[in-house]
Homo-oligomer: A and B are copies of this chain.
Amino acid sequence: MRGRMNDVKSYVPPFALDAPMEGGAIGEVVESRADGLKAGDKVLHMAGWRDEAVLPASAVTVLPNLGVDPQAFLGNLGLTGGTAYFGLLDVAQAKEGDIVFVSAAGGAVGSAVVQIAKAKRMTVIGSARGAEKCDFVRSLGADAAIDYTAGPIAKSLAAAAPTGIDVYFDNVGGDHLDAALAVARRDARFAICGMIDAYNGGQPSALRYIMRVISARIRIQGFIFTDFMARMPEFYAEMAPWIASGQVKSRDTIVEGLERMPEAFLGLFEGANTGKMLVKL
């Protein structure tokens, strides 16, 4: 969403001025003349920051009955969980026994990565901002949590991963990416999902260890969740039972009221959220 506030060519068009912000939301059908869609149905849609919307039936998806809270479809069973799942298992080809480093591990995507990696018997190191979030990351099952405000991430990561890492799930970019390059093992895979460091700063990333892609044969791969939309059934089949059984948990940050949307949004860039940042109308 932050990317779409820049007037540049990207994988989706920029937001238009004076138009409602688009974004994933769960709504309740109030009125419908469409087949298979009746008042009271809970639906997923992209109409975003608004109280009400009139939408064609093709623009909404009735939530499948997977035995989980509807809210999960905005989090661990939605875009963020799917990003974690396909990024970790498909893009980064992480497998049992791998040592995985994930940045912003207290965030929505990161906390899902930690839990999926543990469900798949990997060793997981997460970075987060501050001691409290690090506690949360450990509570999700991470083998180690790094408070990146406590010192240079390169030093902390080298200490937490003395034998190196096989996989890096990047939500941050910048010095986190550089630290991961420095400790990557032979044939390491990096899934690049977000670079929140770069969204607002505009500072070029200084990568002192980029040359290690050669000696360690590192593969760096960018990806977008929507590339994997056709594979949602596979994701639901594995993730929904984990959520239903409590093996994968969420601790969403919920802000109440449409008028607090901007506050909630800006908070994402200051680490104000633990887990998914949600706004309840």
Q: Which residues of A contact B (CB under 8 A)?
A: 3, 10-11, 173, 177-178, 192-195, 198, 204-208, 210-224, 227
Report which of B178, B212, B217, B222 forms a contact with A213, defined as CB distance below 8 A.
B222
Q: A275–B215 Cα gap in the complex (Å)?
A: 24
Report which of B198, B210, B223 forms a contact with A217, defined as CB distance below 8 A.
B223
Q: A11–B216 Cα gap in the complex (Å)?
A: 7
Is there an interface contact between B198 and A211, defined as CB atoms closer than 8 Å?
Answer: yes
Q: Which residues on the B side are within 8 Å of A216 (C-beta)?
A: 11, 222
Q: Which residues on the B side are within 8 Å of A220 (C-beta)?
A: 213, 218-221
Q: Which residues on the B side are within 8 Å of A173 (C-beta)?
A: 210-211
Residue on B nearest A202 in the bound complex, by CB:
B208
Report which of B207, B215, B223 forms a contact with A224, defined as CB distance below 8 A.
B215
Residue on B nearest A209 in the bound complex, by CB:
B204
Is there an interface contact between B227 and A222, defined as CB atoms closer than 8 Å?
Answer: no
Residue on B nearest A197 in the bound complex, by CB:
B211
Is there an interface contact between B204 and A214, defined as CB atoms closer than 8 Å?
Answer: no
Is there an interface contact between A219 and B219, defined as CB atoms closer than 8 Å?
Answer: yes
Q: Which residues on the B side are within 8 Å of A207 (C-beta)?
A: 204-205, 207, 210
Is there an interface contact between A221 and B217, defined as CB atoms closer than 8 Å?
Answer: yes
